[in-house]
Chains A and B, each alone.
Chain A
Amino acid sequence: MQYFVNVTLTGLTEGMVYSAFALALVLIWRSTRIVNFAQGSMAAATTFIALALIQAGQSYWVALVVALLSGLVLGAIVERVVIRPVEGGPELNAVIVTLGLFVAIQAAIAIVFGSAFQSFPTPFGLEGFQVGDNRIALTPNSVWVIAAVLVTMALLVVLFRFTRIGLAMRASAFGQEVARLLGVRVGRMLTLGWALAAVVGSLAGLLIAGGEFVYPAYMDSLIVFGFVAAVLGGLDSPIGAIVGGLILGLALSYVSGYVERGSALVNVAALVILMIVLLVRPGGLFASSTARRA
């Protein structure tokens, strides 16, 4: 029983991490209709900025704020300088550019910060809570991760559903022409979308790094799982991203914990889950409606 609880809790925490990353992907998809493969490297870059600050003696929270701000700036710069020139062309162009960016940023991190493994500190403890005689696989740090992801999701829902700026962002993403005719400053909205997505990505990067090891490519495996989680959820829905991440995290943890040599099957299992969901619900679990294509 304790084993089941621990495998479940491990899965939940891992799942939340996938969710955080999926959330950033959803955000950029909603506001620009581009799948951003560079998200992982961008998050890694801001994480390394935070780590440098922490190693220089700053507190975790100062580093967090600086990382989020540099994410904002990085996102805006990437959109203006790299994405904007290819934005008018076929959608695939922009996606391929993000792939190139993914490699380039990773290389830049290695040049600036080195490619060594380093541990990343957490603001909260890494020892599990005591329940009765047993310690369970839920730590103060996992509570912080879960809370931070849920709050971010709530903020995003509020932004997109209840504010004018959220509406304008969605409009710019769906139909640039129409939005422009209606007086939306589409260019700014796209930049804002990228900047916000990069902030969420930076947060995801920091949450993932906490209590783990970072190196320039540390986000690589998470990029895959983050994408699977986002697509599971429908790529369009913040709540879907959270649910998708949790389902994936739990399922992978059970595979790893209950199947013989499960650790080796985790990646395969992720693909199987994705296939099944897409066969049953091609738009993902939380797709709002398939007809809404601009």
Chain B
Amino acid sequence: MTAIAAATAASTLAACGGSDDGGGDGGGGGDAGANEASDIGITEDSIKLGAHFPLTGVAAPGYSEIPTGADAYFDCLNEAGGVNGRTIDYIYRDDAYNPTTTSQVVNQLVLEDEVFAIVGGLGTPTHSAVLDFLNSEGVPDLFVSSGSLLWGADPETNPYTFGWQTDYESEGKIIGEYIAENFPDAKVGLFLQDDDFGEDGEAGIRQYIDDQIVAAERYTPGNTNVGPQIAALQAAGADFVVGFNVPSYTALSQLTALQLGYDPQWFYSNVGSDPTLVGNLLNNFSQGQVSDASLLDGALTTDYLPTVDEPDNPWVQEFQRIWDECGGEGELTNYRIYGMAQAYTTVQALQAAGQNPTRDDLVEAIEIAGGDWEGPVLAPFRYSEESHMGTAGMSISRITGDTTEQVEPVQLTDIGDAPIEPYDGEPAEVPENGIPNEESVID
């Protein structure tokens, strides 16, 4: 509701802004000291950003919280003065995880709301639907909320699009190497979503433990009966199951395994493993024989951001402060941390793009400076002219009750046959007010 209201108020503003050139007028980054309406969506005192998220429907649990985190971050940022004296006007719209709706709302954001950039649009099938549109319109398409290789592996075809989180193939490789080293005798079964997500993950993991894999079962999102798939993993004798699946299917796979008396070592990829969300999903069953979160006890997972169960982490503390001061109802969750961390990177990009950036300046700034940015993410980004891939690494942790304990520190890698190496960098310091301070790299 707030998003729609914001949109109406904002489109009036945009009409006054009245910049009708398509960018590239070279007015960006001037050091004259005065703010100008340097491109579509930028006025002297505001920058308009748009996003699409599933706020309703199958994918809404968890994911609908991401934009509320980003919104809280931008609110606190605006109170502290914004970016170069401009406030961020953040508009997010509901696409219900339906690609047709995504096209519709992104059209609306670009053509009616006239946003400067799209930030954090969520989902592989959904965002694929607008990839060509955004790139042909020359709209910066920053930090897609999905680990598909589509966003960053081919910047020549999609020069305006950037990934953000660790891609699924690199994640698969890190998981594969971990299993090869720590569970060399395990018979591994794969539980995969039947699309890019599962395919990329499988490709990565097979690079390291192809000979240990005894079964690969695929489920189709929407088909909630995973009985045959879980039974097949059991029948193949898999005693270690790696899931590249979304959270609701983590819950379904756990329920089905319980039904079948199947008790392998579980390893859920980052996407499907949020213990709070899965616990909430299973909550009502606790009246029966399932005791909610404990079902995931002992499962392994990966991380590329600090999580809410690390209250001593300075980033989590800062995000907690932001959520308390500028957030809405509810608790700080891992999804909200995700949204805030993404907003943090967005502010780094805007700062690096200079005082009066054009859309092309923003893209150039990320390519030049993005690889050096530090922040809440555990591993550096891979941004350059050749790659628009997001962060390069992950750590591995074990879920114990409501918390997690790290079992392997951050490992770095890349797509293809890039090696896996331990990351030797230190965690980044939290800047004042949680607001980054990047130099402009555009002159």
Contacts and interface: CB of A to CB of B under 8 A. Distances in A.
A204 to B, nearest CB: 16
Contacts of B57: 115, 215, 217
Interface residues of B, number: 38
Interface of B is mostly: helix
A7 B227 contact: yes
Interface string B252-271: 10010011110000000000
Contacts of A127: 258-259, 261, 289
B283 interface: yes
Contacts of B194: 261, 263-264
Contact of B231 (A54, A60, A137): A137
Contact of A117 (B227, B248, B288): B248
Interface stretch (A36-44, A118-126, A284-292): A118-126
B213 interface: no
Interface string B211-232: 0000000111011111111011
Interface stretch (A128-136, A147-155, A172-180, A186-194): A128-136
Interface string B271-301: 0000000000111110111100000000000
B60 A126 contact: no
Contacts of A252: 225
A215 B224 CA distance: 13
A133 B413 CA distance: 44
Given A126-B289, A135-B261, A253 B58 contact: no
B56 to A, nearest CB: 4
B261 A134 contact: yes
Interface string A249-280: 00011001100011110110000000000000
Contacts of B111: none
Nearest to A128: B259
B251 interface: yes
Contacts of B226: 263
Contacts, number: 126
Contacts of A128: 259-261
Contacts of B224: 212-213, 221
B63 to A, nearest CB: 11
Interface in A196-222: 211-213, 215, 217, 221
A65 B218 CA distance: 39
B155 interface: no
A137 B284 contact: no
B56 A110 contact: yes
B223 A135 contact: no
Interface of A is mostly: mixed
B228 A125 contact: no
Contacts of A121: 284-285, 287-288
Contacts of A253: 225, 227-228
B134 to A, nearest CB: 27
Given A261-B194, A263-B229, A266-B223, A6 B287 contact: no
Contacts of A267: 223
B285 A119 contact: yes
A137 B259 contact: yes
A137 B227 contact: yes
A130 B261 contact: yes
A125 B290 CA distance: 9
B249 to A, nearest CB: 10
A139 interface: yes
Given A126-B289, A127-B261, A211-B285, 4 more contacts: A54-B284, A119-B281, A119-B283, A121-B287
Interface of A: 2-3, 6-7, 10, 14, 51, 54-55, 60, 110, 115-122, 124-128, 130, 134-137, 139, 211-213, 215, 217, 221, 252-253, 256-257, 261-264, 266-267
Interface of B: 56-58, 60-61, 194, 218-220, 222-229, 231-232, 234-235, 248, 251-252, 255, 258-261, 281-285, 287-290
15 contacts: A2-B235, A6-B235, A7-B227, A7-B231, A10-B228, A54-B284, A118-B281, A119-B282, A119-B284, A126-B255, A126-B285, A126-B290, A128-B259, A217-B57, A253-B225
Nearest 5 A-B pairs (CB), nearest first? A135-B261, A257-B228, A10-B227, A3-B235, A6-B231
